[in-house]
A and B are shown apart, each in its own frame.
Chain A
Amino acid sequence: MTEVVLERLVLVSPYIGQAKWASAALKEQIGLGLSAPGRAISNRRARVIWAGQRSWLVAAEVKLEGLAAVTDQSDAWASLRIEGAGVEDVLARLVPIDLRASTFKGGHTARTMLAHMNVAITRVGAQAFEVMAMRSMAGTLVHDLQAAAAQVTARG
């Protein structure tokens, strides 16, 4: 389990009819457009993570005046990367969605729950996920993951 530091993170919510133009502008600025629902994309400079109904989290500095509401969220999220052979087993104790590799592939992202918390989960590798939770709940996020991992390990 390691912390992922997203130095600059903004929420991008395109205005009515502007999603296409916002995406094009983003593409120009960071080399990535808006991802499809449930998908996260990245390049060397930036990441775009679908974040729910008409909204995306963008890890980069962007300017989309008139095209989209842009809100600074750099300090709002705690992000953890969890990795290992048992990672799906651990998440299966906490997350009520289907995270099997056959259905939740690399680059898939979901807004869902982890125990009682609202989270965003992205698959970032065959045995690796990134979990984002509200900053104020970072301690609980670590606690819940550790408790589940301890039990999965103890089962052998």
Chain B
Amino acid sequence: MRLQEPEDTVSFTFDGQSIRGVPGEPVAAALMAAGVKLVARSFKYHRPRGIMSAGSEEQNALVTVGRGAQAEPNVRATVLEVSAGLEVFSQNAWPSLKYDVMAVNDLMAPFLGAGFYYKTFMWPKAFWEKLYEPIIRRAAGLGGLSGQPNADRYEKAFAFCDVLIIGGGPAGLMAALTAGRAGADIILADEDTAMGGRLLREVEDIDGQPAADWVEEALVELRALPNVRLMTRTTVTGAYDQGTYGALERIAGPRHIDKPLECFWRVVAKRAILSAGALERPIAFPDNDRPGVMMASAVRSYVNRWGVAPGKTVAVFGNNDDAHRTAHDLAAAGITVAALIDSRPDIQAEGDFEVLSNATVTATKGRHALEGITVTQDGEAREIPVDCLAISGGWNPTVHLTCHMNGRPTWREDIASFVPTPDSIPGMVTAGACNGAFTTAACLKEGAEAAADVARGLGLKPKVTVPAADERAYKIAPLWAMPGKGRKWIDFQNDVHVKDINLAAQENFRSVEHMKRYTTQGMAPDQGKSSNVVALAVLADATGRGIPETGTTTFRPPFVPVSIAAMGAGSQGKGFAPERLTTSHHASVARGAPMIEAGLWYRPSYFPQQGETYWRQSCDREVGYVRNAVGVCDVSTLGKIDIQGPDAAALLDFVYVNMFSTLKQGRVRYGLMLREDGHVMDDGTTARLGPEHFVMTTTTAAAGQVMRHLEFALQVLRPDLDARIASVTEQWAQFAVAGPRSRALLNAVLDARLTDADWPFMACGDVAVAGVAGRLFRISFSGEHAYELAVPARYGASLFRLLTAQAETLGGGAYGMEALNVLRIEKGFITHAEIHGRVTAFDIGMDRMISRKKDCIGQTAAARSGLMSEEREQLVGLKPVGAVKQLTAGAYLFEPGAAAERINSQGYTTSEAYSPTLKTGLALGFLKRGRARHGEVIRMVDHLREIEAKVEVCDPVFFDPDGGRARG
């Protein structure tokens, strides 16, 4: 029922029923105004539940918004804003909210107490996966996901400020005014749709004017300050190291295709003021979960802020003075107050309603909506018909953020609550209700003083002026759980009641952390915001300890649920990872080449031609280009590192196992790089361009790692070496020109002819292509007479066109990664499939490359006997000799007679290819004592693909073993 007719309403639906609401008000308020009491079914027992709170702490009213791929489950109806056409659905009920089949769980409740699952589903063991888990999974959970990709946009962003103020109630606003006026750069974040906190929900004055008017004035002033950023609908979710805070912003207003729904902020603040307020806690009495039982402060919020009456006849039940405000505000709004029930003796309260001191609520009735309560006073029970009961067990300061870095809150007896322990988060101070200051006057004062301290710490000169405000004292007599029969709910969201906690204590789960896990109290999405203190008070009682000795569980981020979509915003589709494109990319795509990812790079797999229906046809043809004519391949993705300086050669000697100081200018050498632990890190060639100038190539995969490694060598290990390195991978487009006709091709495009004398194998030097200065290296990764030609990247696309066109006139053409892989396997050249991090120079037969004339990274460790043992798995070639011709990479090797089990493994395969040159399948692999076993026939077993083949062990260099083709 609405107290005033709103001017502007829109319609939305709840379970298909059309409801009118005011845009921007919580869906909970509109449902309440429409008389909808039953909004949800509870998690475990499927009990009928209604709206309980007026904020993000809501335990009951979780709903699903939208449908299909856009459906979002477990949204709190107390936070969700009304907008035209919104579709809201109840959860956890089938076939309908009113007639829910799973409500049978409630009848079985005596069997389903804490620990039920642990005790029941233990045996037989095999039943767990097949029977129990699927059934439990289906029965459990609240809202479900659609399983479809979500097209909604989300966002993440970074923000920086001097002072982050968390919570825009009286303390936060006063803090913002004080620090803002002093000139501090401020972010004021509040999770509500408007700043003001309780000031928007209470009937009281500040400086002689209604509190809400004072809030508006404060906001006018704050909005005018350029150094103040106001962020509403923004919940600070976590406090992290070095002044970093997470915050989730819900973005308001009409939907748009590009408009994000939520933004996850990472806020970096020099200082922070926590002014997060407090949350009211319930009292545990029998059947305290009926729809219509609400928090007393929430009742005030609906009446005072949203103009909605939660009931026609309302009783108020509390243990503190604050509850009395609810009775007064209801009466002032013209709602019948059936009784103000206070558990404390001799309560004085003036008002047009009955006041019952020393009285408690001991029962409730009404299945789908509250119909009445039983009040017990001086041992006598009486029934009072009500449709709403407002309860207040006192206030819990919102200390959560102060506990995110291991802080533990401190118990304060006078308010029967935990308050933050000072300095729990470096740089953060607390003020207002979250600090245990429960009057508006105290909140304003603490906010101003905290901000003044912070501002002074930042070197500013703040002034403190605090307006006059409400100072009525907060008195409380703790009341946690009533005695008597019936289930007294504590954690409404996870269906945990007093008996569950007593059972936990009885079964010796006495630690609060054990109790939590045994009963699941505090483990629902609300993380026990409302239930924790009550639960541990009950546990303290059951175990005969005080509350401070019992302690709290650990509050961890996030304070409210954060959707994964918001945290991962932008990292879908093209945003998942950068695309690195070579200069020949578009030409390759135009030729129909399927592109394959190599790290972040995209490289052509092969270049299909008309009539080719299978990749192997293209690949075999391209291998033929290189073996018989000439092939062209973009190798720009290999890392290229420029090394200059007086100690450039010394640096290379230090990072490579072999000598580079002896390399002549104009020559290239193959180098092997180890990690300090003696295992192979990377390999590649390095060319000497000048006396103090080299250019190193790395594998595509390890380019970044090698760069980091070289900087490590220079900055950490040998800062005395006067050498400088720079990545030039992006500067140069580089193409392999490989095959017997490679020189003919180059002579057709280079400005000067290549001669045998000037360009022997492993020579390098400057060349020119149509006047463009380039570099030429006579190196080969195919075993053929080959070159790599580099030009500045801007000429890459043109050069690729030129080279491929020339190659085609010579009976060759472009080749892709598949052919490149076949060519190198035929020659036994290794890649990171072989040097995968666990192999040594010894394993790949390169230990003799390790120069003893100098120290180098990895040299000492590589000499350890265990890394040089003949028993190690050594690089070998493998050829099929049985009926099965197909070899696979990642298969295991076994003795012919041995069972194909791990314990009998003799090694494994790392690469395989069909060699069109040798007309056979080939594989590279590692085999125990492999170098001594050439000629032996063993078994290759691929358990995953279920392939087994007889293979002959041989030298890894299958083709042209003496290397004459590359040198010739």
Contact = CB atoms under 8 A, between A and B. Distances in A.
A92 B580 contact: no
Contacts of B715: 53
A151 B574 contact: no
Interface stretch (A11-19, A23-31, A32-40, A121-129): A11-19
Contact of A71 (B260, B268, B642): B642
A75 B731 contact: yes
B155 A151 contact: yes
Nearest to B579: A140
B645 interface: yes
Interface residues of B, number: 46
A18 to B, nearest CB: 9
A151 B158 contact: no
Contacts of A103: 160
A3 interface: no
A135 interface: yes
A136 interface: yes
B574 A153 contact: no
Interface in B691-747: 711, 715, 722, 724, 726-732
Contacts of B644: 13, 69-71
B578 A115 contact: yes
B575 A137 contact: no
Interface stretch (B173-181, B251-259, B272-280, B396-404): B251-259
B794 A95 contact: no
A58 to B, nearest CB: 13
Contact of A77 (B260, B730, B732): B730
Contacts of A54: 724
A143 B601 CA distance: 17
B483 interface: no
A72 B791 CA distance: 12
A136 B157 contact: no
B730 A76 contact: yes
Contact of A137 (B158, B253, B578, B793): B578
A15 B730 contact: no
B919 to A, nearest CB: 38
Contacts of A147: 570, 574-575
Contacts of B575: 115, 143-144, 147
Contacts of A92: 157-159
Interface string A133-154: 0111101100110011011011
A143 B155 CA distance: 15
Given A75-B731, A137-B579, A139-B581, A93 B155 contact: yes
B797 to A, nearest CB: 12
Interface string B140-165: 00000000000001011111100000
Chain A's interface size range is: 35 or more
B580 A76 contact: no
A100 B645 contact: no
B888 interface: no
A45 interface: no
A107 to B, nearest CB: 19
Interface string B92-114: 00000000000000000000000
Do most interface residues of chain A lie in helix, strand or loop, or is the interface mixed?
Answer: mixed
Q: Please classify the interface of chain B as helix (H, G, I), strand (E, B), loop, or mixed, using the class held by over half of its residues.
A: mixed
Nearest to A97: B158
Contacts of A140: 574, 578-579
Contacts of B580: 134, 136-137
A69 B574 contact: no
B601 A13 contact: no
B684 interface: no
B260 A72 contact: no
A72 B600 CA distance: 23
Contacts of B646: 15
A98 B728 contact: no
B387 interface: no
B153 A151 contact: yes
A102 B155 CA distance: 25
Contact of A55 (B582, B726, B794): B726
Contacts of A139: 579, 581
Interface string B458-471: 00000000000000
Contacts of A97: 158
Nearest to A140: B578
B266 interface: yes
Given A15-B645, A75-B794, A115-B570, A151 B260 contact: yes
A138 to B, nearest CB: 8
A15 B722 contact: yes
B726 A69 contact: yes
A69 B714 CA distance: 14
A96 interface: yes
B55 interface: no
B143 to A, nearest CB: 26
A118 B715 CA distance: 20
A134 B728 CA distance: 10
A102 B270 CA distance: 14
Interface string A88-110: 00001101111010110000000
A103 B158 CA distance: 15
Nearest to B577: A116
Contact of B730 (A69, A95, A134): A134
A151 B579 contact: no
A4 interface: no
A96 to B, nearest CB: 5
B156 A100 contact: no
B460 to A, nearest CB: 14
B728 A136 contact: no
A155 interface: yes
B259 A151 contact: yes
Given A74-B792, A76-B730, A103-B160, A143 B574 contact: yes
A73 interface: yes
B697 to A, nearest CB: 15
A53 B726 CA distance: 11
B449 interface: no
A93 B578 contact: no
B185 interface: yes
A95 to B, nearest CB: 7
B185 A100 contact: yes
A84 B634 CA distance: 39
A13 B792 contact: no
A116 B578 contact: yes
Nearest to B642: A71
A11 B156 CA distance: 33
Contact of A11 (B581, B722, B726): B726
Contact of B724 (A15, A74, A144): A15
B578 A102 contact: no
Contacts of A16: 722
Nearest to A77: B730
Contacts of A73: 726, 728, 730-731
Nearest to B585: A136
Nearest to A99: B160
A42 B309 CA distance: 68
Most buried by A among B158, B253, B578: B578
B160 A98 contact: yes
Contacts of B729: 76
A74 B582 CA distance: 16
Interface of B: 153, 155-160, 185, 251, 253, 256-260, 266, 268, 570, 574-575, 577-582, 600-601, 642, 644-646, 711, 715, 722, 724, 726-732, 792-794
Given A74-B731, A93-B155, A153-B258, 5 more contacts: A96-B158, A115-B575, A140-B579, A144-B570, A155-B251
15 contacts: A72-B731, A73-B726, A77-B730, A92-B158, A93-B157, A96-B266, A98-B160, A116-B577, A140-B574, A151-B259, A154-B258, A154-B260, A155-B251, A155-B260, A156-B253
Interface of A: 11, 13, 15-16, 53-55, 68-77, 92-93, 95-98, 100, 102-103, 115-117, 134-137, 139-140, 143-144, 147-148, 150-151, 153-156
Lowest 3 A-B CB distances belong to which pairs?
Answer: A69-B644, A69-B724, A76-B730
